[in-house]
Structures are given as C-alpha cells and as structure tokens.
Chains A and B, each alone.
Chain A
C-alpha cells in the first residue's frame, strides 16, 4: 500500500492519538528536553503501530520503559511527587500507556487522563491564550471520545459539534460556580509552590549583566491603574529592592530588619492606584512613592523597603494611596552601613573619589561631579564588554560602556568612596499606558537600577539616576529608543506601527481584564459581588458555610446523576428477560420453535407442563405488557419473576419422556 492509502484506510483509527499530542505540546516548554523527546518518540511509535495495524510491544518492555522513566524523573528532580516532578512524570507515564491502550475502554480511559494532563498545564500558566488552547484541547478530547464511542459511525465533525454543544451547555453552570462558589482566603489546597523554581524578575542580587538579561524579557511585571489623576508614566520610578551590600562585584540586599527605623514623611498630594503584581515568589512590592496608609498584609522594612507579609505566589492586587513626594531620613547608625566598601577592590575609583572629596566635601557637589563624569564620554549599551576583578575601575576608566546597573553601581561606589552614604535601588522605570482603559503595563524590560544618596538630615535620601546623565532618552522613552538600532534587544514589543500598536493595546487591555477579573477573582472580589446582591451575604463565615453546603450539594447532584444514568430499564431489558426464560426452558427441552409467538409458546409450555403454567402465564403477560404494551414500569416485576423461574426436568411429564417436547408448529 502507498502511504496515502495507508493514511486513508488506517488514519481514522489513529484519531484517538491526536488529543494526547495536543495536550503534550504546551508542556514542552517546562519539561526537560529528554522527556519531551521520549514522549514524542513514543507517540510516533504508537502512531506507526496504529497505521500498520501491528501488535503492541510486549508487557515486559512497557514495564521496563515505565521503570526507566520513573528513575529518570527521580534523577532529574530528586523526587517523584510535587508539582515540579509530578506533572512530567504523569506525562511520561501517560505516553507509555499509549503503548498498551488498545480496546475502546482503554482508549477512553487514556483520553480522560489526557484531559487531566492538559488541565495540569494550568499549574504553569493561566493566560488567555493558554486557557483558550486548553479549552480547545478538551473540546476536541470529548469529541474524539464521542467519535470512539460511536465506533466511527459519526464523523469527527459531528461529534465536534456535539462536544461543543455540551461545553456550551455547561458554560452557564461553570460561570455561576466561578462567581458564586465560595472562595476562602486560605484555600484548602493551593498551588503547590516550589520555592527553588526560578521566577523572572528582579532579585536581591545585582551582578553586572543581570538587568541586561532581564530586559530581554517581554513578560509583565505588574499592572497599575490610577484612579483620579494619572501621572506621566515616563517619570515614574517604581521603587523596589534596596541593595546596600557590596562585595566588590555583586550588589545585594541586606537581610531585612524586622521593622523600619527610617522616618518617612509624606508631602504634597497623593495618587490612588491599584497594583496587580505578577507572582515573583518574593516579597518585594513596587511603589512610585510612599504608600500611606500601608495596605493590609504589607509592611515597611529597613531602608524603606516595602514588603508583603507573604511571598507573592499568586497574582495579587493591592489598592493603596501613594505620595510621590516624601522626606526620607535614616538614623546615623543606619547610615554607616551605606558607606561600607570591601577593601582591595577598585583602587583607581577610590583614589578619584577621595580626590574629589579633598577638594569639596559637600555631597551635592560630589554628586554633580560624578554625573559630569558620566555625561562626558560614556556610552549606553546593552552589550557591555566583560569587566575584570576591579569591575568599577574597568568600567570607569576602561570600557566606559555600560547599562543602568553599571552606572548605578559605579555611581554608588564613587559616592561611598567619597564618604557620602549611597545605595543602589532596583525597580522599574516607566511602563506603557494602554490608551483604551488607561492602565499602565510595566514589563520586565522596564527594569532599572538607580541610586539613592544621603544629602544630609534636611534633604534626606534623594534619588539620583546616573543613567539619565548619559542618555536622557533612556529615561524619557524607554529602552527601545535609547539603544542604537544595531543593538535592539528582543524589544519587539516596542513596535511603533500604529495598527499593530492598537492591536497590542487591545490585547493588553484584554489581558489586564483577564488578570483582574478572572485570575484575580478572589475572596475580596467575591465578597464585593455578594455585598452588591445582598449585604447579609457578604461575610466570610457565611462563605465557609456556603462552601460546605455547596460541597454537599455537589455530592448530592453527583449521586443524583449516577442514579439517573444507572442502566436504564429499557424494553430491551424485557427482551433479555424473555431470552433468559427461553434459555432456561430450553435446558429442560422446552425451547421455543422457530418464530413461535409468545402467547403460543406460553400455551404450549402450559399444556406440556401444567405445573409451570401459572408462572409461565404471568411472565408471558408481563413480557407482552412491557415489550409490546408500553408498560415499562412492570420491568422490575418481570425481571424478578424470571429470576425466580427455575424450571426443572419433570420425570412424569409426558412431553419430556423422549426429550422431544415440540408439538407441531401449527399448534398455536
């Protein structure tokens, strides 16, 4: 047979292999390469077997494969439980199971497991696209199941419509459950979190190149929505992590003190905003000013670090009020640690700073001198040359090409060397306003590092952005404009074609809505909704009770469903009961004649075996009533009577003496 013929004749038989493949595809972005390849390999193997209508591999081989897979997953993850190892293990075993699935029942089971595998991707991502894709996969999965069940009599297109209709019917219920099913603030089960898993975002360490890597990422860091006056986003420094420690190469955050001894004084007017933070597995929060009052669940730590009480493991939203202008002072003891520099590094930079200091020790003058130095002939680039052990020296006097972290790091080093308390602050700069609904989208590519210097007790801490000294465009227009064309990073997100931009804005708005209203729909939002329905409903206690009630109701519904779908007492059950009766009578030589009608049969049995006449007549009457008389409610009585009907051979029976009990056919 030519391949096309094979495909035409055997292709429909291989249809059930499609959903597992589609369920695997999104997982390929997080499972190890070898696992993805094994799954794909097994899939193609099974496809070839199906197309060739060949026998499946022997049991021993499958067992070996499964054990090897188990071992490999353990070797890879050091565990076979938990989300991180569990999902890949499940996928692997699912695909090995392809090799033993043959009959209808096994294929059906496999397809159900496939739905589970597809849904497990929700542990990895919940964006609109992911949700839409997984929805499609599960609609297709159900369609293929229906197609299998019909043994190919129904074309896939038809079962696809059927399956879509099923999902459409279920949608209102799903929506209702989504909105009203009680949400508890501490879920009974949560997303298992693996603290070791890497999350994109700023970290407590800043080595040269860290932010440059981060800037390649178009992922969303957070979204902000200002209510009331909207500040110009280009000038917004979203303050995040304070890096006060330096070991000669890496700037790092000091272990957070339990409470802040800083004195913070709000000035001017406040902005109101909501901040929807993507999970970054840390506690940092980002703010364009001084949040006051502090929203619940957050606190301020030493160095005016705004922290959440719990690591941000799920997308979370805060509403708060922020003062863009504020006075920030530290006590003398705390200032000391903002001056520490490791010995033995960067002698030339130290020398330069100390020279400045000897000429004029006023902090503001020192700051201006440093900025003037940067303004002279430094180049801003995403791909700075490698730096040696004395990284600041190399940067300041050698390469003079760098990125915000080089400038911030170099600047703070110079300030400390000159005796001015200074530190590096990382966060985000700018962002993009969606013109459709005005929300501000801040991406990882907006990550930035700047400096804060202590200008004396009156002025307090002041933000200085040395990067702005080199390339003002960087501060005003974001990274896309600041870079030479040849050095464009993966900043394709910065497309300027109006149409594309419009589309992108719409998309971002959709994403924002999705995040806020679908993914961000938690207990608070639910309580709000319930309060709108009736103020009495909006209590957490009520919610907990309702959760239990809903659970019980769900169980009851499930029980009802199983009760409803128990094997139906169809008229065919009458035919089966009648057949059983005929078989039992057949064993004692009273099988029905060909095409003998029920009443005729009954009369003959009654004539030959008067002892059986009574039950026989009752059974026959019930059989006729149920099968032909549309009285299905009698089926149970029929089944019971037939079950009790156990005719025995009758020695004295004249009709049975020679084993031939059949009178003539005309005896009806």
Chain B
C-alpha cells in the first residue's frame, strides 16, 4: 500500500511550505493525477520551494527554467552540436529533460518558446531535427506566471491554459506560518530523505484507476459540466477539463484514504481545475468566483 508513503510526502512538503496545506495537497493531487500545475502568484511566496519539495520528497530529478523574453526553444528543449572528437553531432538535452520542471514566469517568453514547452508537456516527448526523444517519466511541469505585471508579457491563451490540470495561488502565509518562517524553524527540503520513489508514484497512479465513480457522482459531474456550458461563461468546461476534474477528484479521494469519490472531493478540486478555464462573459468575475458560482448553483444529486 503506497498511500501512507504519500501522506508522508505531504507531511514533508508541509514541513517546508508552511501554512499552505490545501495548496500542497492540491499540488500533490495534480502530480498524482498526471497533470501539470500552473501557479499564478507573486515572486517570493514559495513557488520554487514547493516545486523543490515535491520533487525531492518523491526522489525526482528537478530542473528550473527561467523564462525570459529572449529565451529560445533550444534553451528549453536542447540542441545538437558537432563533436570533432567523435566526428558527428551530439545532442545536448535541454532542461526540459527532467522529471520535475519548474518553468518560472512562463508568460515572459515569446509564444514560440512557450509553445515549445507546452507541446512537450502535451506529447510527453520532444522532436528535434527529425529525432523523437521521450521525456522522462514521471514528467511534471510546474509553471508560474506573475499576474500583475502587464508590460512585456505574452499571456498564455486559453487553449494553452487548458493544458494545465490545475492553477493554484499560494498567497501570503498566515501569521503563524510566517512567524515560524521568520524564526528560522523551517527545515530545508534537502534535509529530508525522499519519502517515496518514482516507482511508488507509478503504483499510486494505478491505484487511482480503481477509485470508484458511482452513478450519482457521475450525475453530479455532468450537472457541473452542463451548468458551465449554459451560456454564463465564454467557454464551458471542455471534455478534457471534465476528464481532468474526474481524475483530480479520484486523486483527492485517494489521498483522503477513500476508494470512491464523493461530492466533497469534487468540490475540493473544482476551483483549482476549473477556475483558469472559466471566463465570465460579462467580465465581472474572476475565475475563482466563476468556479464558486458554478458549485453553488449545481445541487448535488
């Protein structure tokens, strides 16, 4: 049974990222569900720390790409150079060839570089100069973007946003957490030994498939989808979003030590999964407010 290992993973991460139990759990849920994570927040609230802690406690290899306006796709994916000694081209893999990739400030790079990353995320492989190279497994991208700087940025279009399973906001820590932080009682991620291995992650993902989705719960999911598509928003939730929602809910339920999904699970992950995909047609509501509106409008069958 791998579940206790992941509770341990969660405990380790919470020991590093203080006072963000919900977000860390969602991040782990996202990783378990095989999705990618978008964190929209200010610099310095712990995005890197979270990514680092996740990677380390699972024993995963971690790399970070700082996206800038002059970043080229080759800086992400890698490039081939002529090696005189060998008398041929040798491939230098980019930072994307890593199990956990932190793509920092993704909206600062040009759409060309952005799409190089996003396509790799979607395909699970990189095709360069006619050769297809698989990305490592597991492959988990945490992208961050700064929502408040509006100059010199290339915001991700909705179609690209849809590729992230979840979008999270970390926010400032609460006062108790901040006090702990300031007092220096926080351990660094490196001081922990990994609580779980990539193999455990594989097994956990298989266990997710066995989490039961009952008929009334499917009714609930469909009611949510229907309501989101009823015209209040620019787009409703896509089938990909609904698949992601179901998988995230299963993942959440599994972390809650349950083998079946209940409406609480769906509600717990709904905002993270749906908020970045819902755009208020009238423009008055943020994505989170849209998600809450959907949840409150749909009765649990």
Contact = CB atoms under 8 A, between A and B. Distances in A.
Is chain B a partner of chain A in the same complex? Answer: yes
Nearest to B215: A571
B300 interface: yes
B299 interface: yes
A571 B214 CA distance: 10
B214 A595 contact: no
B65 interface: no
Interface residues of B, number: 21
A551 interface: no
The interface size bin for chain A is: 10 to 19
A628 B299 contact: no
Given A599-B264, A668-B264, A629 B214 contact: yes
A598 B264 CA distance: 7
B260 A598 contact: no
Interface in B93-121: none
Interface of A: 571, 575, 594-600, 624-625, 627-630, 665, 668
A628 B296 contact: no
Contacts of A627: 214, 216
B298 A628 contact: no
A530 to B, nearest CB: 52
A54 to B, nearest CB: 40
10 contacts: A595-B295, A595-B300, A597-B300, A598-B262, A628-B216, A628-B263, A629-B258, A630-B214, A668-B264, A668-B268
Contacts of A625: 260
Given A596-B300, A629-B258, 18 more contacts: A571-B215, A575-B216, A595-B267, A595-B297, A597-B262, A597-B266, A597-B267, A598-B263, A598-B300, A599-B264, A600-B264, A624-B262, A627-B216, A628-B214, A628-B217, A628-B263, A665-B296, A668-B268
Contacts of B268: 668
B259 interface: yes
Contacts of B261: 628
A619 B297 CA distance: 26
Nearest to B214: A628
B244 to A, nearest CB: 19
A544 B214 CA distance: 54
B123 to A, nearest CB: 35
Given A597-B267, A598-B262, A598-B263, A629 B212 contact: yes
Interface in B240-278: 258-264, 266-268
A171 B145 CA distance: 73
Given A624-B262, A628-B260, A628-B261, A668 B216 contact: no
Given A595-B296, A665-B296, A629 B260 contact: yes
Specify which of B214, B216, B263, B297 lies most central, judged by the most chain A CB atoms within 10 Å of its CB: B263
A563 B298 CA distance: 38
Interface of B: 212, 214-217, 258-264, 266-268, 295-300
B297 A630 contact: no
A579 B224 CA distance: 21
Given A627-B216, A628-B217, A629-B212, A600 B267 contact: yes
Contacts of B263: 597-598, 628
Contacts of A596: 300
Q: Most A CB atoms within 10 A — which of B212, B214, B298?
A: B214
A599 B215 CA distance: 18
A575 B296 CA distance: 20
A630 B258 CA distance: 12
B262 A599 contact: yes
A630 B300 CA distance: 18
B298 A630 contact: no
- A-B complex: 6 closest residue pairs judged by Cβ atoms: A597-B263, A597-B264, A599-B264, A629-B260, A628-B214, A628-B262
A595 B298 contact: yes
A575 to B, nearest CB: 7
Most chain A CB within a 10 A radius of its CB, from B259, B267, B297:
B267
Given A628-B261, A628-B262, A629-B259, A668 B296 contact: no
B212 A628 contact: yes
A571 B299 contact: no
Contacts of B299: 594-595
A579 to B, nearest CB: 11
B66 to A, nearest CB: 35
Nearest to A596: B300
Contacts of A600: 264, 267
Contacts of A624: 260, 262
Nearest to A595: B296
